[in-house]
Structure 1
Amino acid sequence: MSAPRPTVLISPVNPSDYASVAEVYLRSFETTEILTDIYPPAIQPSMETRIALNVQERTKRYLEPLNDLVEVKATIDGKTVGAAIWLSPLDRTSTGGDSLPHEVEIEQMLAAKEKEAGREPWEFEMDKTIDKEFYAKFKKTMKEIRKNWSKGAPHWYLSYLFVDPEYQGCGVGGALMKFGTDQADEAGLPTWLESTIAGRPVYHKKGFEVHSWCEVEGEKFEGGRLRWPGMERKPQAVKQ
């Protein structure tokens, strides 16, 4: 007789959670395709340094209003074992999926503040851990694929989801996924995500289908390119 699954609790991520979330994030993606291309293992500092840099990045990222970003953590017996960032729906049909006027204002304000204040030492250290050329192509490709799919129509977007390797198979990923898909179903809205090749069957079981493929060319990739699927989930009837 198999042991019962542990209880997984989902709650918002607070600043006091940044370090524990960062550690799980880094551990869960250490051997994951795409993430190892963004953060090449050969140039990574110690785990302690990477956690500290990640916390600094998170702190800066959340200083400014991001009205559509929802980050939640999964805990078992009080321990953080996973997290997810969801972007809640905004209607961008007026811009075809590009940033809305108030979002452009925020982006310009942040750029002006950074130019005035200059970059902090930790940001230069972070630069050393990233393949910046690949990362820029990666972000641009995902943004274009999602924009072409949605045309700016409201939807829930799973930006990322990760689970502590020691707790995979315990229902953690499913609980983090359900947080967003339940709200999408309640609103009658579709859901979008980008997956690794390995993660594709997992998301397929949750109702996602491949809509289109993201591609980045490069000599270091097998066959000269890296591909990963953009997947959509249509809204499902809410069980009464």
Structure 2
Amino acid sequence: MSHVVVGLAEAADLPSIGTIHARAFHPTREWHRRIFPESIAPWWEKRYSMEIADSNCYVLKISSSDSATPTPAPVLGLLSLRKYDANEKGAGRWASYPPPPEVDKESYDAMLKSMIEYRERFMLGRVHLCIDLFGVDHEYQGRGMGKMLLAKACEIADREKLDVFVEANEFAESFYHDFGFETEGRIEMPLDGVTQCFLVRKSR
């Protein structure tokens, strides 16, 4: 693959977007395999069709620009950035578009509860951006694609003069620190033993 580019996802990308979560996390993260099984790809497609159509969202993709790649090119990484109003409560699309029965509801609800609690604790009262999903296909990790996606998200945040909130597991914490995020809180998920970190990046 000679060259990759970051751009906004389109409707034609939805079939590939539907599988990006499984491709990014299932090879190494048991928690992701259990809570979001591979069979729910159509749910991801429908969810992100709403995000793509929402003017408050930036659904960033990274894909190959090689002329030999099929059109549309497979989505190799995705970062979904959503704008929240100053007094907007809840977990956005995560709560407004319920998951299918295959999802581990207990773990899903615990994830939403922590997201809501910490986003509202640190961000309520100011317009801000929230990273809802961020992942790169496991086969392409280690090639700088995640850095390209997050750099673009930070560029958007700085252009709009907005702070950014993200919930991430402990394995990604230092990666976000490299982009100016600061850890504001941590919690161990009671059902999974996974430490989730809540990070905020101030606009520049």
Report the TM-score range of the alignment, normalised by the length of the smaller protein.
0.7 to 0.9
Amino acid at match of 2:20: V
Amino acid at match of 1:209: E
Contact kept, 8 Å, 1:6 with 1:170, in 2: the verdict is no
Partner of 1:81: 76
Q: CA deviation at 1:228?
A: 0.8
Residue segments in structure 1 that go unaligned for 5+ positions in a row = 112-122
Amino acid at match of 2:158: D
Instruction: Answer yes or no: is 1:176 the counterpart of 2:142.
Output: no
Partner of 1:59: 46
Mapped to 2, the partners of 1:7 and 1:55 lie a distance apart of: 29
User: RMSD between aligned alpha carbons?
Assistant: 2.8
Alignment of 1:155-234 (within 5 A): 155-218=128-191, 221-222=192-193, 226-234=194-202
Q: CA deviation at 1:233?
A: 1.2
Instruction: Give 1 or 2 for the bigger CA radius of gyration.
Output: 1
Contact kept, 8 Å, 1:18 with 1:55, in 2: the verdict is no
Instruction: Answer yes or no: is 1:91 the counterpart of 2:85.
Output: yes
When residues 157 and 33 of structure 1 are mapped into structure 2, their CA distance, relative to the original with a 3 A threshold, is farther
Partner of 2:32: 35
Amino acid at match of 2:5: L
Q: CA deviation at 1:234?
A: 1.6
Mapped to 1, the partners of 2:31 and 2:24 lie a distance apart of: 13
Among 116, 126, 131, the residue aligned to 1:153 = 126
| Moved segments of 4+, more than 3 Å | 60-67
TM-score with structure 1 setting the length: 0.69
Contact kept, 8 Å, 1:8 with 1:175, in 2: the verdict is no
Among 82, 107, 115, the residue aligned to 1:134 = 107
When residues 32 and 10 of structure 1 are mapped into structure 2, their CA distance, relative to the original with a 3 A threshold, is same
Contact kept, 8 Å, 2:189 with 2:196, in 1: the verdict is no
Contact kept, 8 Å, 1:84 with 1:160, in 2: the verdict is yes
Contact kept, 8 Å, 2:17 with 2:44, in 1: the verdict is no
Q: CA deviation at 1:23?
A: 2.3
Q: What is the percentage of aligned positions where both structures have the same residue?
A: 23
TM-score with structure 2 setting the length: 0.80
Mapped to 2, the partners of 1:160 and 1:38 lie a distance apart of: 14
Instruction: Answer yes or no: is 1:68 the counterpart of 2:36.
Output: no
Mapped to 2, the partners of 1:61 and 1:10 lie a distance apart of: 17
Post-superposition Cα deviations, 1:50-77, rounded to whole Å, max 9, x if no partner, equal 2xx4234432663596442221210123
Partner of 2:14: 18
Contact kept, 8 Å, 2:22 with 2:33, in 1: the verdict is no
Partner of 2:69: none
When residues 178 and 149 of structure 1 are mapped into structure 2, their CA distance, relative to the original with a 3 A threshold, is same
When residues 63 and 184 of structure 1 are mapped into structure 2, their CA distance, relative to the original with a 3 A threshold, is closer
Post-superposition Cα deviations, 1:67-119, rounded to whole Å, max 9, x if no partner, equal 4222121012344211111113x432xx3x426xxx9xxx6xx89xxxxxxxx
Equivalent pairs, count? 191
Residue segments in structure 2 that go unaligned for 5+ positions in a row = 67-72
When residues 212 and 67 of structure 1 are mapped into structure 2, their CA distance, relative to the original with a 3 A threshold, is same
Post-superposition Cα deviations, 1:169-195, rounded to whole Å, max 9, x if no partner, equal 222111111222112112332111111
